[in-house]
Amino acid sequence: MDFNDSPDEAAYRQQVRDWLDANAPKARVAGDPEGGDGMAASKAWQAKKAEAGYACITWPKEWGGQGGTPVQNVIFSQEEAKYPIPGNPFQIGLGMCVPTVMTFADEETKKRFVGPALRGEEIWSQLFSEPSGGSDVAGARTKAERAPDGSGDWIISGQKMWTTGAQFSDFGIVITRTSPDKPKHKGLTMFWIDMKDPGVEVKPIHQMSGGSGFNEVFFTNVRVKDSQRLGAVDDGWRVSLVTLMNERLAVGGQTGAGWQQFMEAARNTPGLDGGSALKDGALREKLADWYVQAEGLKHTRNRTMTALSRGQTPGPESSIGKIISAVQMQELGNTAIEMLDQYGIIDDPELASLNGAFHFSLMFGPGLRIAGGTDEILRNIIAERVLGLPGDIRVDKDVPFKDMPTGR
Amino acid sequence: MNFDFSDDQKSLKGEARKFLGANCPTSRARGVLENSAAGYDAELWKSVAAQGWLGAAIPEEFGGLGLGHLELCVIAEELGRAVAPIPFASTVYFLAEAIMLAGDDEQKADLLPRIAAGEIIGAIATSEGPGATTAATLQSTVTDGKLTGVKIPVTDGDIADVALVLAKEGGKPGLYLVELRGEGVTREAVKTLDPTRDAAKLTFKDAPVRRVGAAGAGIELVEQVFDRAAILIAFEQCGGADRCLEMAKEYALERYAFGRVIASYQAIKHKLADMYVKNELARSNAYYGAWALNTNAAELPVAASAARIAASEAYWFASKENIQTHGGIGFTWEMDCHLFYRRSRQLSLVAGAPRVWKERLVSHLERRNAAAA
């Protein structure tokens, strides 16, 4: 038991370090990563990685990858993170959308899209969630109907929601309702679409936290070719499972201020007895709990990495991360704010401690507890897929979609 | 990255599970529970000694198997899972570890071979009453090589042959070995929450002692011994917590209410998912502790604290929610749920309560931060 690379891993890490040393940016580009200079820098870095085979390490060589292992991918990410690299708006496309295209599209389509996506020339969005359903993806209502002119084309109408990066995306994959007469899982079809098509309208969502990282996407009679279909008609649920399976492999680390920042803030805040708030037993106990959780997650990632390193499929332990980290983000932010007493209400970055990082945690935490699988859905996943408990009794499985009750 | 046990260690764990499955069903713990005179399961103790487990981490020159602490960790996990009613922790995690850490050559030659052979049972005696024992509260004293004072509770104090006792000599705390079958020792059994483990009140009146480690180093030495024991106990706790989750799952899949198995209700599914999450966090922290213990890393005190806090929380949660998942039947004497609930309390308290460890952890983090600044 140790934390060392195997000889092969060490050699790969050295190769990556040498390449990064020669090629990685030395200074961070200022500006919004979602536009302007930031985007240009992101695209330039992506192109450089693609040229050297580091953009999608695990992809086959014929598609621009290295045919590498998941461990090599992790090693590259670890080393890359040591440099002031620009933001990565390609993750959803390369991690989920393009692999779906690669699995279900014809050769011509693959040849057209894989290279430009790999090189960062084109950005992809995943259009699954809707106003009427986020956790329940199979409840999608956005319609796709055959064009009445007999061309075989499809006409898409409806609305998607919580689409990350839609405002700067070139293409997307969209799940639609093609057969409302069939039960919900059996009447869905997947398409790729051009986000610049007439009838596609992107509107940013104003989040409760004040920012706008996600979008609503409206489809008004958007015409697509039958050749844009991914998988068979009404087989879109199976296609979406391929997309979402890739989502599970995207592992996140700590978000927002952590126990270190809390400890520093407590040290610098007056406590109840006139000394430092860091002497407060109640706060110390919470600090210990957060440290233990953060360490637990870190070493859980080390266990996952070990499984990959041994050529095994990581166990279900990797599914616990967000359940812990999102709740901790919200709780830690709130505890820090209450520690400040009356002053805690001030979130002006000029006045608030750590430029308002704790206030950000408080206001963004609720979103993190929902995005990418709610706390509740993640518990269902653990219960059903890890522990093998039965799925919920489904009242919607065999009912034609059009006859299902709908609320708000 | 190689952050896992080796194939050999995993196979040892598999053997331990098989052995305890055959030799330590929960009826053995229940046997001690229902016979207050027993103190421990002497037959199981003998067979565990015959497996060589008591000396797993003791060097071969002292009669042990000379394996490492990682091997001891996997055995500990299985003992915890089986709620084994034997003085393994007292003898191996506390006494043997303390002697290997700070004993002189004579003490090692005297005690380690007898521990490995299962000839003696050990105990550690630090507590003197309600609240954590500190240098300021410590009352027991050693004068001219004789100990006087009262220790309560002492796990396995009623069955042990040798105890490590924290006492003051010349006003400074030290750690001392006392032969409990010798003169000046009076023992009284005490009733505890977990009668599957022995406990006693020890009264010393001029009992002869041998000092372990340097004079005046008692508190530091006890902390080091507790750090090491905490990691091994964390594995027992992980084993127990995982067994509770299994029991809850098995029951929930068999029990019907309102026309379907209760495992199909989200209230139960989410409860079990929460158990799983806590158990995994505990396991990952325990693994880091195992690494620190085996390499004697500088991070050992921090790793031990994190392992103990996470494992105590996981076992507490799993053992209480296992009862809840069972419903009324889980509250009966005949059901095994309370064996784990009781043992979770014993393990959370025996090396100091989680509250104390949280304070220690934060103090370490403060010092580490100050050193880095």
Cα dihedral value B289, B291, B293, B298, nearest 10: -90
Nearest-CA neighbor of A360 among A255, A288, A264, A214? A255
Q: Is the pLDDT of residue B45 over 80?
A: yes
Q: Is the pLDDT of residue A318 over 80?
A: no
Are B351 and B230 in contact by the 8 Å Cβ rule? The answer is yes
The alpha-carbon gap from B271 to the nearest alpha carbon of chain A, in Å, equals 9
Distances in Å between the alpha carbon of B16 and those of B19, B53, B69?
A: 5, 9, 15
Q: Is the pLDDT of residue A407 over 90?
A: no
**Which tokens hold the place of A89?**
């708006």
Residue B1 to residue A3, Cβ atoms within 8 A: yes
The alpha-carbon gap from A18 to the nearest alpha carbon of chain B, in Å, equals 20
Peptide bond into B153 cis (omega under 30): yes
B281 in contact with A, Cβ within 8 Å? yes
Is the pLDDT higher at A255 or at B6? B6
What secondary structure letter does DSSP report for B158?
A: T
Largest pairwise CA distance in chain A: 80
Residue A295 to residue B306, Cβ atoms within 8 A: yes
Residue B277 to residue A320, Cβ atoms within 8 A: yes
- Cα separation, A341 vs A337, in Å, equals 7
Q: Is the pLDDT of residue A317 over 80?
A: no
Question: Which residues of B are less than 8 Å from A305 in CB distance?
Answer: 1, 3
Q: Is the pLDDT of residue A367 over 90?
A: yes
Report the residue from A9, A303, A323 with minimal CB separation from B3.
Answer: A303
The whole-number pLDDT of residue A132 equals: 87
Nearest-CA neighbor of A216 among A204, A207, A208? A204
H or E segment and range at residue B280: helix B266-295
The alpha-carbon gap from A380 to the nearest alpha carbon of chain B, in Å, equals 7
Q: Is the pLDDT of residue B318 over 70?
A: yes
pTM score, whole prediction? 0.94
- Cα separation, B95 vs A375, in Å, equals 45
Per-residue confidence band for A30, with pLDDT thresholds at 50, 70 and 90: low
The whole-number pLDDT of residue B115 equals: 98
Among A280-284, A351-355, A359-363, B222-226, the minimum mean pLDDT is found in A351-355
- Cα separation, B301 vs B292, in Å, equals 9
The whole-number pLDDT of residue A253 equals: 52
- Cα separation, A64 vs A51, in Å, equals 8
Distances in Å between the alpha carbon of A84 and those of A26, A77, A120, A254, B351?
A: 6, 13, 18, 18, 46
Per-residue confidence band for A251, with pLDDT thresholds at 50, 70 and 90: very low
Can you tell me the mean pLDDT for B39-58? 97
B49 in contact with A, Cβ within 8 Å? no
H or E segment and range at residue B186: strand B185-189
Q: Is the pLDDT of residue B319 over 60?
A: yes
Report the residue from A297, A310, A392 with minimal CB separation from B264.
Answer: A392
Report the residue from A287, A300, A389 with minimal CB separation from B362.
Answer: A287
Each residue's pLDDT tens digit, B261-300: 999 999 999 999 999 999 999 999 999 999 999 999 999 9
Can you tell me the mean pLDDT for A202-223? 95
For chain A, give the percent of residues with pLDDT over 70. Answer: 94
- Cα separation, B321 vs B316, in Å, equals 8
Number of helices and strands (H, E) in chain A?
12, 8
Contacting B residues, span 87-146, partner chain A, CB-CB under 8 Å: none
B250 in contact with A, Cβ within 8 Å? no
Per-residue confidence band for A327, with pLDDT thresholds at 50, 70 and 90: very high
Residue A299 to residue B3, Cβ atoms within 8 A: yes
For chain B, give the percent of residues with pLDDT over 90. Answer: 97
Per-residue confidence band for B187, with pLDDT thresholds at 50, 70 and 90: very high
Query: Chains A, B: CB contacts under 8 A, how many?
Result: 155
Write down the residue that tokens 């004072």 correspond to.
B149
The whole-number pLDDT of residue A250 equals: 47
Q: By CA distance, what is B366's nearest residue in A?
A: A263
B256 in contact with A, Cβ within 8 Å? no
Can you tell me the mean pLDDT for A387-402? 90
- Cα separation, A373 vs A31, in Å, equals 30
Listed in sequence order, the residues at least 6 apart from B233 whose beta carbon sits closer than 8 Å to its beta carbon are: B76, B89, B93, B308, B311, B347, B350, B351
The whole-number pLDDT of residue A133 equals: 85
Residue B2 to residue A306, Cβ atoms within 8 A: yes
The whole-number pLDDT of residue A70 equals: 87
Can you tell me the mean pLDDT for B134-157? 97
Q: Is the pLDDT of residue A408 over 80?
A: no
The whole-number pLDDT of residue A31 equals: 58
Residue A49, Cα to own-chain centre: how many angstroms? 21
What secondary structure letter does DSSP report for B193?
A: S
Can you tell me the mean pLDDT for A109-115? 97
Contacting B residues, span 55-84, partner chain A, CB-CB under 8 Å: 70
Question: Which residues of A are less than 8 Å from B1 in CB distance?
Answer: 3-5, 9, 71, 302, 305-306, 309
Secondary structure of residue A326 in the 3-state scheme: helix
Question: Which residues of B are less than 8 Å from A280 in CB distance?
Answer: none
What's the mean pLDDT when you consider all of chain B?
97
Per-residue confidence band for A249, with pLDDT thresholds at 50, 70 and 90: very low
